[in-house]
């Protein structure tokens, strides 16, 4: 797989929760992976001193997964709705021009977190076919503790139609999440090693594999 892939994460660790195994597999198969993390914790809601720790943890996780480039964008976490939509759009257009991805992974528009919803919308704006260097394939990924907590049947449901076999790479994904020391939680919290294994097992057994990650195909241009 000699392709350029861009993973867009609203927050630190979303990329590992949703795409960690796929990143590891595609990187091992020769893909060039870039990850863009679009927010940082800002006062008074968050300790801004923790942002450097978040970034160091992300770099450690991405090194394990085989990510070539990590892009940090300091939009305010949990307050992305206060940033003009045009500004977020422009930033993602710039990132797409820089990376020139053929494949893009974005958060699901039905996630309960408003940051995820806004990143989904801006990602699609940046990926409009009229723009330059846009991806030909776009997938939406699921994020434990965000995708499954919205109102069923009242908001978009995550119904995957693409599955990536990550059986040989599940342990790498787990190691990547363990690198996020400040984010991983003890079971039964969803951001735990046990929960990641359980979801990967469920998605895998759906298509007769030991472990998989699931996605919704948003668009493909052939």
Reported as a single tens digit per residue, the pLDDT across 174-190 is 999 999 999 999 999 99
Q: What is the pLDDT of residue 71?
A: 98
- pLDDT, averaged across the chain: 95
The CATH architecture to which 4-220 belongs is 3-Layer(aba) Sandwich (3.40)
With contact defined as beta carbons under 8 Å apart, do 119 and 10 qualify? Answer: yes
| pLDDT value of residue 152 | 79
How many residues belong to the chain? 222
Instruction: Judge if pTM exceeds 0.95.
Output: yes
Report pLDDT digits (tens) over 125-140.
999 999 888 899 999 9
Of the chain, the percentage scoring pLDDT greater than 70 comes to 100
Domain boundaries, the chain: 4-220
Count CA atoms closer than 13 A to 116's CA, side-chain side. Answer: 25
Rg (CA), the chain: 16
Say what the pLDDT of residue 28 is.
Answer: 97
206-217 residue pLDDT tens: 999 999 999 999
Judge contact between 54 and 41, C-beta under 8 A: yes
Dist. CA 52–CA 12, nearest whole Å: 11
Q: List, in sequence order, every beta strand (DSSP E) within 142-211.
A: 162-165
At residue 43 the predicted structure's pLDDT band, cuts being 50, 70 and 90, is confident
State the pLDDT at residue 117. 97
Q: How confident is the model at residue 103 (pLDDT cuts 50, 70, 90)?
A: very high
The pLDDT score that the predictor gives to residue 195 is: 97
CB 10 within 8 A of CB 39: yes
The predicted model gives 190-215 an average pLDDT of 97
Residue-level pLDDT at 1: 65
**Rounded mean pLDDT, 3-18:** 97
């Amino acid at each position: 797989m000699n392709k350029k892939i861009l993973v867009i994460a609203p927050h630190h660790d979303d990329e590992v929760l949703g795409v960690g195994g796929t990143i590891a597999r595609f990187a091992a198969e020769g893909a060039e992976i870039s990850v863009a993390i679009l927010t940082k914790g800002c006062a008074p809601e968050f300790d801004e001193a923790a942002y450097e720790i978040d970034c160091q943890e992300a770099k450690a996780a991405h090194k394990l997964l085989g990510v070539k480039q990590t892009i940090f964008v300091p939009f305010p976490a949990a307050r992305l709705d206060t940033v003009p939509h045009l500004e977020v759009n422009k930033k993602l257009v710039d990132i797409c021009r820089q990376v020139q991805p053929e494949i893009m992974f974005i958060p699901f528009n039905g996630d309960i977190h408003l940051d995820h919803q806004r990143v989904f919308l801006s990602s699609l704006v940046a990926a409009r076919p009229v723009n330059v260097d846009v991806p030909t394939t776009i997938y939406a990924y699921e994020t434990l503790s965000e995708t499954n907590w919205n109102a069923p049947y009242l908001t978009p449901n995550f119904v995957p139609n693409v599955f990536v076999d990550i059986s040989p790479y599940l342990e790498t994904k787990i190691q990547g999440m363990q690198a996020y020391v400040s984010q991983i939680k003890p079971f039964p919290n969803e951001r735990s090693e046990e929960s990641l294994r359980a979801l990967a097992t469920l998605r895998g057994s759906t298509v007769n594999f030991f472990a998989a990650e699931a996605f919704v195909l948003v668009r493909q241009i052939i």
